[in-house]
Chain A
Amino acid sequence: MIVHTQQPVLEVHDLTVSYSRKPVLWGVDFTLPTGCIAGIVGPNGAGKSTLLKSIMGLIPLSSGYVKLFDRPLEEVRHRVSYVPQRESVDWDFPVSVLDVVLMGRYGKVGLFRNTGTRDSAIALDCLDKVGMSAFAKRQISQLSGGQQQRVFLARALAQEADIYFMDEPFAGVDAATEQAIIKLLREMASANKTIVVVHHDLQSVRAYFDWLILLNMHLVAAGPTDQVFTEEMMQQAYGGRLSLLSQVGDVMEKRAFPSREH
């Protein structure tokens, strides 16, 4: 079940992504309305992060295209912000919290110019929004997991974008941080920003998201949460072994061997 929208902020069209020729996402096709908080949900290995990375142009597409604001990514990069997984970087890197948040301004200032006082003011403001302004001068290795996530969020905010892609922002953070983040996301959504979040805690899906993208190597469903978050849909997405795709995958894997005597 896929619910499409008119004048979508994001259009993913017939997207197929492969890692060394083995498809990990098949024919994903959906649209998102402006100002929603969308969750990408699915079992482990469903390709949630892969979907996010391919939208961000970080991995090559085997087929299909992605349009943001009805344009290709290159033309609207300054309106798009990305929050990678917290574990993807070395937190022992010799920079301060403020330095990391300032990186959010690097896209705006460009390759050759340095960030100025205005950028620092914006960065400090963003740190304040995530409740981390007291930590601006702190070296990043001294942060807890929840604090690291807040810093990443502040860095994304500093981009002053219109659409935000976040890879597991709630993974391994404390309950207080989770609540602070979701509160911030709601404020952003009410300011007509669009937020796409890779998420894996089904308990909170209904409370957090108003749009849901249900993934299991292919698109199971996409649409408003109350229409998508049904037992039938979840069964389709999480009853992994039964889906036709994994059966085809199994056959492809074994095709060098005879499956029956005849």
Chain B
Amino acid sequence: MQNLIDFISFSDPNVRYVVLGNVLLAASAAMVGAFILLQKKALVGDAVSHAVLPGVCAAFLFSGSKNTALMLIGAFVSGWLALITIDYIAAKSKIKKDAAIGLVLSVFFGTGMVMMTYIQQSGNAAQSGLDHFIFGNAATLVGADLVVFSILAAVLLLAVGVFFKAFALVAFDKPYAEALGYPVRRLDLLLTSLTVLAVVTGITAVGVVLMAAMLVTPAAAARYWTDNIRRMVGIAVAFGVFAGLSGAYISYVAPAMPTGPWMVVVSSAIAFFSFFFAPRKGIVPRMYMQRKNQRVIVEENTLKMFYHLGERNSHFDGMRSLDELASTREVNKALLKTALRRLVAKGLLASRDGQWALTDAGHQKAMRVVRLHRLWELYLTKYMDIASDHVHDDAETIEHILTPELERELEHQLGYPDKDPHDTEIPK
């Protein structure tokens, strides 16, 4: 608990640097990442985050020290070169874009690893800690870095803010953007540069490889929560910031823990949560909806059994046994029993001595379902010219979903009929 208070109070200047640095980089990465995702270029982020490594190493070899600004410049140059190479290969050769990405990613990263190994064995004292650039270590952030970060993040925020409309247009409909006279090529180049910049911003804290996740994951998670692009970018930034804060906190509490991987773990957890539980789009709410539908169908079918038995001997409120009910249609008895129990609980059925009867409310509801069934059968034969012996199965489904408004409209169109196509009475 004391840890948390220390962390939140920002009393330790190191904490301040780490937290601010993480928030800035996570926010800017998530914002740019949203557009990468919408342009279906998620793999490009992956390629860039691998391809910056040789640039970092080259900058170190050139300067002989761990100068952050210089390394960021090196990273930017090699990340950018990689993207240009990918586009060039895809445009000028038989190799398709996915293969070009795979190729460039591994060649650049491989070269970077070779250079890294060389540096580590060169005996240069300054090299210790260079490997942090692979997985990142927010604890190494110092005040001077923060200035660089803030500038980069400000540039990213400003650029995305200014070109938001144009980026969205290009992501949705590129030929149309071109037809409107928008500089599509230059906008693409700008987004590419912003992507590289976002990755570069993260390399000290998160590391080169894992920045790909910080680009795409918050945006992918945000897509589950909204259908509005502005809100989506906002939510992505919020998710990114939360992951950044969590990563910083965890590595503050347990200094042996690397910041970058924890940020990625947290943002992946958010993504998984969204994937399963986001309202409407998540898997669980969708499953719940389907279960609910299934229940409604079983319950309404059960009520119909009572009504059909009632029609047979014109005695609608008689007590019925399980076997008697099951004789009206093919049904799983265990399922029927649970449905009966639920209907009793809802007050639509009354039960006594292992037998059941419709209550008044139950009778009304059963009548309505039967009515809708027969109205729909009539509609199908009358307006869609379907033979009367082919309409039953369709009506079995439709009877459960017709709303009262649709029911009125149906009745009106059919001229308030009395009989269905099988000449059975339509209850009122």
Interface residues in chain A, defined as those with a beta carbon under 8 Å from any beta carbon in chain B:
53, 56-58, 74, 77, 80-82, 84, 88-90, 93-96, 99-100, 103, 106-107, 111-112, 114-115, 139, 141, 155, 159
Contacts and interface: CB of A to CB of B under 8 A. Distances in A.
Given A94-B229, A95-B229, A84 B173 contact: yes
A111 B175 contact: no
A95 B179 contact: no
Max chain A C-beta neighbours (<10 A), residue from B173, B176, B232: B176
A219 B180 CA distance: 27
Contacts of B1: none
Contacts of A139: 227
Interface string B159-170: 000110110110
A142 B180 CA distance: 26
Contacts of B232: 94
Nearest to A100: B172
Report, nearest first, the 5 A-B pairs whose CB atoms are least far apart: A107-B180, A82-B179, A139-B227, A77-B181, A94-B229
Contact of A93 (B38, B165, B175, B181): B38
A93 B172 contact: yes
B223 to A, nearest CB: 7
8 contacts: A82-B176, A93-B172, A94-B38, A94-B226, A95-B168, A95-B228, A106-B180, A107-B180
A84 B174 CA distance: 10
Given A53-B175, A57-B179, 19 more contacts: A57-B178, A77-B179, A77-B180, A81-B179, A84-B179, A88-B175, A89-B172, A94-B38, A94-B223, A94-B227, A95-B172, A95-B227, A96-B228, A99-B229, A103-B180, A106-B166, A115-B165, A139-B227, A141-B227
Contacts of A106: 165-166, 169, 177, 180, 182
B183 A111 contact: yes
Contacts of A111: 163, 166, 182-183
B283 interface: no
Nearest to B166: A111
Given A77-B180, A106-B169, A58 B175 contact: yes
A137 B182 CA distance: 26
Contacts of A81: 179
Contacts of B172: 89-90, 93, 95, 100, 103
A94 to B, nearest CB: 5
Nearest to A111: B166
A139 B226 CA distance: 10
Contacts of B130: none
Contact of B162 (A80, A89, A112, A155): A112
Please classify the interface of chain B as helix (H, G, I), strand (E, B), loop, or mixed, using the class held by over half of its residues: helix
B171 interface: yes
Interface of B: 38, 40, 162-163, 165-166, 168-169, 171-173, 175-183, 223, 226-229, 232
Contacts of B183: 111
A56 to B, nearest CB: 5
Nearest to B182: A111
A88 B38 CA distance: 15
Nearest to B173: A89
B159 to A, nearest CB: 12
Contacts of B226: 94
A103 B173 CA distance: 10
A82 to B, nearest CB: 4
Contacts of A95: 168, 172, 227-229
Contacts of A141: 227
Nearest to A93: B172
Nearest to A99: B229
Contacts of B179: 56-58, 77, 80-82, 84
A238 B168 CA distance: 41
A93 B38 CA distance: 7
Max chain A C-beta neighbours (<10 A), residue from B162, B163, B168, B177: B168
A111 B223 CA distance: 26
B211 to A, nearest CB: 24
A36 to B, nearest CB: 21
A106 B172 CA distance: 13
Nearest to A167: B175
A225 B273 CA distance: 60
A93 B40 CA distance: 11
A18 B168 CA distance: 30
Nearest to B231: A94
A133 B121 CA distance: 69
B175 A84 contact: yes
Max chain A C-beta neighbours (<10 A), residue from B168, B169, B181, B182: B181
Contacts of B182: 106-107, 111
A74 B181 contact: yes
B173 A88 contact: yes
Max chain A C-beta neighbours (<10 A), residue from B226, B228, B232: B228
A231 B22 CA distance: 72
A99 B183 CA distance: 20
A81 to B, nearest CB: 8
Max chain B C-beta neighbours (<10 A), residue from A77, A99, A111, A141: A111
A57 B40 CA distance: 24
